[in-house]
A and B are shown apart, each in its own frame.
Chain A
């Protein structure tokens, strides 16, 4: 029943009936009979709503906000009788053009609403745009009525997560993926059985906010192929999913498709973490396009030098001014929206150290944005993960302002495990820190091992296969004469640079990959795997494949058969982690309150060799009460030999009635390399030592025999 007086128009503009809107929430909201449009600018002098028929080159109508529709710095208006599916909208803002003072208003531009919930213009991936389009990225209206039934974020304890980082398009774009809608959210639904078989319980999606794959697109000087903004680390709109990632994007149903993916993942016990890029936008520096923020309120949204130029802490031209109160609110609104409306379980913040910088660029000791996020009630159960560095030289691994809430991508874990595995000197003591969750980094300030997202590979850098197949990056395909991409890869090619037919080299590479995966899944902290590493995915030595829409990035699913041994090894390692709570510690072992110890050994039991020349380390995880008073909790033992020759590891004594069982031995080929948890091979009674092959790793389980 139309029982409210505000259901009726009060104003008219041509054929369009209007009334003053609500300032909150910003963006668009469907209200009875119409649409509420709300936007703010701290420095604009006037604002006009520009409506288009979908995909039309010229506006349908331009409706200036009547003066009485402005409250403070916010303009709000209800427009009645719009067909939500056929309308696209933007704004024109008038204001000063005074770059020295930070203002770059230009009323000739039609601007995207920073709060647009859906964005047209790039709804079909890779479809070349009309470069003359005066409004390339257009706000669209959505129905906020997805039926979640009883779904909600899973709230899996952080300590239990096994994260799998993936790129939505890359995961199923390869013809071998065998899905009906390659490279889409729908394609990911088809791969849910694969996630379950592997055992991961959280997928971390590389950016899925609307971006422009044609931003800075160009022909590859080597191959002539188009190079894209492929990974998507450059946001056009923070509230809209990437329409080109949806099979239904051309029908404007990307919101439903993504929500359905999340609902289906949740139904299968898999959380969804989003990689979010709040450090910069797609507008670049003063030479970039004016799409949205620059024309709405440049001085507010961007960190500017005293002369009005753009600070570039992101390495991408501009820096979002995250600790301006207005931008802080936008970021908070955005994350709340994704948590509440999309049931997102967690966020990983790209170059998160930027979020701790003041508008002047100086690092803050108590950054308001990070604090707000940590204590927000809607985000209270969301995982918050920082990439704790930026391109401006701030490196905060271990010191990111955490408020007891933030976890970090542990870049030191990645570097130290790599260096130990390839046999560097003096790595044993630091390995002990990394395996037990990096107490040297997180043993203070109310943090614990779950502050450490452990990873050995991620989208940046080599894949796991390439880590042991290349000493150096091979980025020629990126068209920058191999100058781009990091040089500190800590990789080792096992004797031959690149692919080889040498069976010994390939066996060693496979063993090194298994060693890495085993250490990752045995370590305290949260393990994160990179898409395809369990299949031996290669980027042919390219450590910076941000621009390639081809098999440098796509997962080749024929690897599933060819590298079944590595897949199976990974699967069983994940299963072991799930089977043993000892591996999923929420606190550092040996500290007050922890019920268990981690005990270090070397080739001699109870005596780890911490010297610079040592390349052997063993550890035992054991509940203190194991073997007593009916406690039969298994004991876990891992011996890692990074020396090139075999070493005999003296085994520590087990509790009475316990015996050793072999779970994994990476010096053996399949099927003897690993066993199903619970079905380990019983070793001889009174076993005193175990010979661990060169560059190999052994995991034993001590438990009572039936």
Chain B
């Protein structure tokens, strides 16, 4: 399953746009691509609007990244979660570990407040 990652700076933060399906086979490479962007004191928006499917392994990879960033005093917000993914995250308790915004703009605003 191909997965694409694009990172660009915006308003003093980094927006990381991910597109594709995140599952057990794509999660490790995605992790390795995103991890270098999570420097100390970083502010990163993960824009997942292009993610159509996220498996259990994908959610775990996401939480792992999030934990690594916050341990490094970084701040991460998720944006653009598809309704079905957001629903799964809510039911399984993953959602409340994250800062979640409905759009990249809202995520940027949230990170600025923080």
Give me the interface of A with B, judged by CB distance under 8 Å. 83-86, 143, 145-147, 180-181, 185-186, 189, 247-248, 251-253, 256-257, 259-260, 263-264
Contact = CB atoms under 8 A, between A and B. Distances in A.
Interface in B53-74: 55-57, 60, 63
B80 to A, nearest CB: 20
A252 B56 contact: yes
A119 to B, nearest CB: 15
A685 B56 CA distance: 67
Interface stretch (B5-13, B33-41, B86-94, B102-110): B86-94
B56 A256 contact: yes
Given A147-B97, A256-B93, A85 B88 contact: no
Interface string B17-46: 000000111000000000000000000000
A247 B87 CA distance: 10
Given A143-B56, A143-B57, A143-B60, A248 B25 contact: no
Contact of B56 (A85, A186, A263): A85
A260 B25 contact: no
A180 B88 CA distance: 12
A124 to B, nearest CB: 15
22 contacts: A85-B23, A85-B55, A85-B56, A143-B56, A143-B57, A145-B60, A147-B63, A147-B97, A180-B87, A189-B91, A248-B88, A251-B55, A252-B55, A253-B56, A253-B91, A256-B56, A256-B92, A257-B91, A257-B92, A259-B93, A260-B91, A260-B92
Interface of B: 23-25, 55-57, 60, 63, 87-88, 91-94, 97
Given A147-B63, A147-B97, A84 B57 contact: yes
Nearest to A252: B56
Closest 6 CB pairs of A and B: A260-B93, A256-B92, A85-B24, A186-B91, A83-B24, A253-B56
A147 B97 CA distance: 10
B25 A251 contact: no
Nearest to B60: A143
Nearest to A84: B24
Contacts of A257: 91-92
Contacts of B91: 181, 185-186, 189, 247-248, 253, 257, 260
A263 B55 CA distance: 21
A253 B63 contact: no
A259 B57 CA distance: 17
A189 B91 CA distance: 9
Contact of B57 (A85, A146, A248, A263): A85
Given A85-B56, A143-B60, A147-B97, A248 B92 contact: yes
Contacts of B97: 147
Contacts of A83: 24-25
Contacts of B92: 248, 253, 256-257, 260
A342 to B, nearest CB: 13
A149 to B, nearest CB: 9
B54 to A, nearest CB: 9
Contacts of A264: 93
Nearest to B92: A256
A284 B91 CA distance: 35
The secondary-structure label for the interface of chain B is: helix
* B25, B55, B57, B93, most chain A CB atoms within 10 A: B93
A549 to B, nearest CB: 22
A252 B60 CA distance: 13
A251 B93 contact: no
A32 B8 CA distance: 34
A146 B23 CA distance: 18
A257 B93 CA distance: 7
Contacts of B93: 146-147, 256, 259-260, 263-264
B27 to A, nearest CB: 9
* B23, B92, B93, most chain A CB atoms within 10 A: B92
A260 B23 CA distance: 21
A186 B23 CA distance: 23
Contacts of A252: 55-56
B90 to A, nearest CB: 8
B67 to A, nearest CB: 9
A86 B60 CA distance: 16
B24 A251 contact: no
Nearest to B94: A256
A253 B24 contact: no
Contacts of A256: 56, 92-94
Contacts of A145: 60
A69 B91 CA distance: 40
Contacts of B23: 85
Contacts of A189: 91
Contacts of B55: 85, 251-252
A261 to B, nearest CB: 9
B61 to A, nearest CB: 11
Contacts of A84: 24, 57
A86 to B, nearest CB: 6
Nearest to B93: A260
Contacts of B60: 143, 145
A497 B91 CA distance: 44
Nearest to B91: A186
A143 B55 CA distance: 12
Contact of B88 (A146, A185, A251, A259): A251
Given A143-B56, A147-B63, A264-B93, 7 more contacts: A147-B97, A186-B91, A248-B88, A253-B88, A256-B56, A256-B92, A257-B91
A260 B56 CA distance: 14
B28 to A, nearest CB: 10
A253 B60 CA distance: 11
A52 to B, nearest CB: 15
A185 B88 CA distance: 12
Contacts of A253: 56, 88, 91-92
A147 to B, nearest CB: 7
B113 to A, nearest CB: 24
B63 A251 contact: no
Nearest to A186: B91
Contacts of B57: 84-85, 143
A146 B63 CA distance: 11
Contacts of A248: 88, 91-92
A253 B56 CA distance: 6
A189 B24 CA distance: 28
* A145, A180, A253, A263, most chain B CB atoms within 10 A: A253
A185 B91 CA distance: 9
Contacts of A147: 63, 93, 97
A83 B97 CA distance: 25
B17 to A, nearest CB: 24
Nearest to A185: B91
Nearest to A184: B91
Contacts of A146: 93
A186 B97 CA distance: 18
Contacts of B24: 83-86
Nearest to A247: B91
Nearest to A256: B92
B68 to A, nearest CB: 14
Contacts of B63: 147
Nearest to A83: B24
B26 to A, nearest CB: 11
Contacts of B88: 248, 251, 253
A684 B57 CA distance: 69
